Structure 1
Amino acid sequence: MSYSALRNWAGKGFWAVTDQALFAGTNFMASILLARWLEPAAYGAFSVAYAVFLLLGTLHTGLWTEPMLVYGSGRFSESFAAYQRILLRSHWRFGALAAFIFLLLTLGFWTCGAQEIALSFLGLSLAAPTVLYLWLVRRGAYVLLKPQLAALGGALYLILYLGLSLILLRTNHLNETSTFLAMAVAGLFSAEAIRRRMKTGSDRITTVDDVRHLHWNYGRWALLAGLFSWVPGNIFYLLLPAFHGLEAAARFKTLMNLLMPILHFNGALGQLLVPGMVRALSPGKLRRFALASLAVLTAFALTYWLLLVALGSKLMEWMYGGKYLEDSDWIIWLGFAPVSAAVVAVISSLLRAMERPEIVARLYGLLAVFTIIAGIPLVWIYSLDGSALTLLFVNALAALYFSRKVVTENNLLTGI
């Protein structure tokens, strides 16, 4: 990679990290505030509802966002404006369905007397359409390799979300419902700020049938991969309340919160991987790009792990005001999970860029099956300890599976 190319990608990486820091940082701070001020059962309900929302988000990502990263960077790069309009119309139909599903869940939980969870799903019914809209528009900026536009939206999101949350806190109305309402308002205005500033090139017509056909052929595998990849990181938010109550889910969430900064940081860089690899699809060049990406992401993850080893317990005490300290020893071990996740992020991006999402789906499917088979008895018997142990092992296994697949598949190696 030449110096000018390296400098160009470093600049884009800076804006990508800035964007991710602004968006993820506000959500991270809201999660910390809820952990400090809500009762453990209420915070556990928030954690459960958000995990279910992420499951719904995998459907959206698999069918719209992930194919867009590939086809928007390649086949539809000259007609991205028309292509994006087709995707946005489909998104709003999906968003309306998501809101309806969450409202049904709200009614069901309220009828059963689970008011904490019902209030969380009520908030998600309002936030889901606009948050998913924001996800799609932000990724569009990455397709155009304009992460500075996403960062602009991130700054607006920071001001609106934290400003609204502060007003809610001062008026004693900050709870699991109002937090999602603030997220919905901030997400809508931030998405519009990004979309209206995107220069999308030619407005040449792209047929809806072509887009649907391509997205389904690619997205069905991305959809499966997303659903399967949700299991290792989020199934514990459903298992823990089922076996040990909402408080157990709250305790697990407080541990995972400490991993979010590095996961979001590497996730920001990871948003550039698929479009960058698509543009680097030539023998030798793609290999160098992938190895450089792997070195950068794993280096950051290892550095963060060392930070958690040194300061993990103190960080938990400071963040949660002395609450949830009984589980602080686990943060040292869980800190290694982002290292494994960095390896998986690079290799899975490589496979997606080569239009081989079926391999990603199959590997994640194996991991999902293992997580369920091993996780259910471990969580049932050992509660949070079983969840943490399963999470660590599955992340390490994922890195091993993905690495082995690239090494053993000769047809993949010859392509890079």
Structure 2
Amino acid sequence: MAVAGRATELLWTRAKVLVWGRLSALSLVDQGLISGSGFILNLLLARWLPAETYGAFAVAFAVFLFASGFHNVLLLEPMSVFGPASYADRLRDYFQSQLKVHAVLAGTLSGLILLSAVALKAYGLRTPLTGALMGSGIALPFLLLLWLARRMCYVVQSPFSAVMGSVFYFVAMVAGLVALRQRGMLNPFTAFLLVAAASTLASALLLYQHGIFGPGSEPQGSLGWREVIRENWGYGRWLVASTALYAACSQTQTFLTAGLLGLGLAGVLRAMQMPSLVMTQMVVASGLLVMPSMSRDFGLGRIAHLRRKATLTSAALAAIALVYAAALFVAASPIERVLFGGKYASFAWLIPLLGLMPLCTGFATGYSMALRASQRPQFDLLANSVSAPMAVVSAVLFIRWWGIGGAAASTVLGFAAYAAVFFLSYRARPWDCRGMARNGD
């Protein structure tokens, strides 16, 4: 009986591993599709539009990314935590309430962006940035709705549905871009409208699958959206400052380049970042995969295991990113020709410099995930509190001294400071695990 029980346990464990492996693979595919959509969108616009026009899109896209960070910490993250834990028996009502929260939050963020576009127009500034910001403000609620619908798929443990929504969005967006270009209608405003349309269709597909609307979608309980928004705020308010600081660290250079050097060079800076952003996305995805294992080690008091995983993760990701950066250094000019057809050939030297960004991110990942797994999120705020001022001050100085090269150097410096704080915090943290044995296994 004992042997049979042990065999059953092993089979059950293997089955769980296979299930979670499949879910993780689907999650990576989904994230790859969404990240790939953004990459293709920026790549094609950088190739097809004049540098100044693409620069306007790049600035407006940076504004969107800044705003989306608040949506993430005030809606997506709380929903991922509280949905399966507190509302598993009435998820449809909970999702409908979160949609109302989304309407309020995304509507507010969208309104602020649209007001900035109106202000530019009111001041009589003739710049493509006005239309780009207008398009960004219109697209924001719809693209964030797609992110919300995809996150719902993960709450109900159905990443395959998220993949289907992402595939639909990817195909619709790429087809729309080609159609707009063939008709001579492609510009930042119409590109954002296309994003809004593709997001709306993909979101409708996913929300219908979740039963959010359609037959039988009437609320079954008394769950109010105000109750949900209070819960979201209670969770996410501590992350708002960190989100704003991280955005300052990563987006300031784009804004200052546009203001000090012009929209054209802001577009160049964004275009030269694209190869490094590919590796950065891979590093971030790898870190998210290893974090649950670290959390389990911390909960069981296996601190030696957790520390070993943190060191190995950071070392491995940094080594991979270093090889990638070396490849960018060797092949910067050919990469620029493949991606942009020689349009930015005189700026290809920026590609390997910006390739140091994922190296810094990779080095920080293992240590940052270990600190988060040990329930110490304050170190994330500390890292951003140090890196953001350094990035802002260095951007102002470096851009004035060295132009666009200074903007790239400032970006790398900000990420290097971010990595250094995590490493030093990890080394200095007392790993007592609340009284558990220091090397308990």
* TM-score tier after normalising by the smaller chain length: 0.7 to 0.9
Name the counterpart of 2:378: 358
Of 233, 237, 254 in structure 2, the residue corresponding to residue 216 of structure 1 is: 233
Deviations 1:252-295 (A, max 9, x none): 11111122222233344455566776677622568559647656
In 2, the alpha carbon distance for the partners of 1:175 and 1:86 equals 36
State which structure, 1 or 2, has the greater radius of gyration over its C-alpha atoms. 2
Contact 1:16 1:268 in 2 (8 A): no
Counterpart check, 1:61 vs 2:81: no
Counterpart check, 1:134 vs 2:151: no
Deviations 1:61-86 (A, max 9, x none): 12112233333354445554333322
Structure 1 residues 382 and 215: CA distance shift in structure 2, 3 A: same
Tell which deviates more after alignment, 138-147 or 366-375: 138-147
Residue 170 of structure 1 deviates from its aligned partner by 1.0
In 2, the alpha carbon distance for the partners of 1:325 and 1:162 equals 25
Of 173, 188, 193 in structure 2, the residue corresponding to residue 161 of structure 1 is: 173
In 2, the alpha carbon distance for the partners of 1:326 and 1:316 equals 10
Structure 1 residues 314 and 242: CA distance shift in structure 2, 3 A: same
Overall identity of the aligned pairs, in %: 24
Helix, strand or coil for the counterpart of 2:426?
helix
Deviations 1:113-171 (A, max 9, x none): 23300110121122100111112222333344433222111110111111111111111
Which consecutive residues of structure 1, in runs of 5 or more, have no partner in the other structure? none
Structure 1 residues 310 and 196: CA distance shift in structure 2, 3 A: farther
Tell which deviates more after alignment, 225-234 or 330-339: 330-339
Structure 1 residues 317 and 324: CA distance shift in structure 2, 3 A: same
Residue 350 of structure 1 deviates from its aligned partner by 4.8
Structure 1 residues 24 and 166: CA distance shift in structure 2, 3 A: same
The number of equivalent residue pairs is 414
In 2, the alpha carbon distance for the partners of 1:299 and 1:190 equals 37
Residue 397 of structure 1 deviates from its aligned partner by 1.9
Of 255, 261, 268 in structure 2, the residue corresponding to residue 238 of structure 1 is: 255
In 2, the alpha carbon distance for the partners of 1:146 and 1:347 equals 30
Helix, strand or coil for the counterpart of 1:410?
coil
Counterpart check, 1:248 vs 2:259: no
Q: TM-score, normalised by structure 1?
A: 0.88
Name the counterpart of 2:10: none
Cα RMSD of the aligned pairs, angstroms, is 3.1
Name the counterpart of 1:121: 133
**1:7-406 equivalences in 2 (<5 Å):** 7-72=18-83, 74-77=85-88, 79-111=90-122, 112-198=124-210, 208=225, 211-270=228-287, 272=289, 282-284=299-301, 288=306, 291=310, 294=314, 297-298=317-318, 300-352=320-372, 356-406=376-426
Which consecutive residues of structure 2, in runs of 5 or more, have no partner in the other structure? 1-12, 213-219
In 2, the alpha carbon distance for the partners of 1:134 and 1:245 equals 32
Structure 1 residues 274 and 196: CA distance shift in structure 2, 3 A: farther
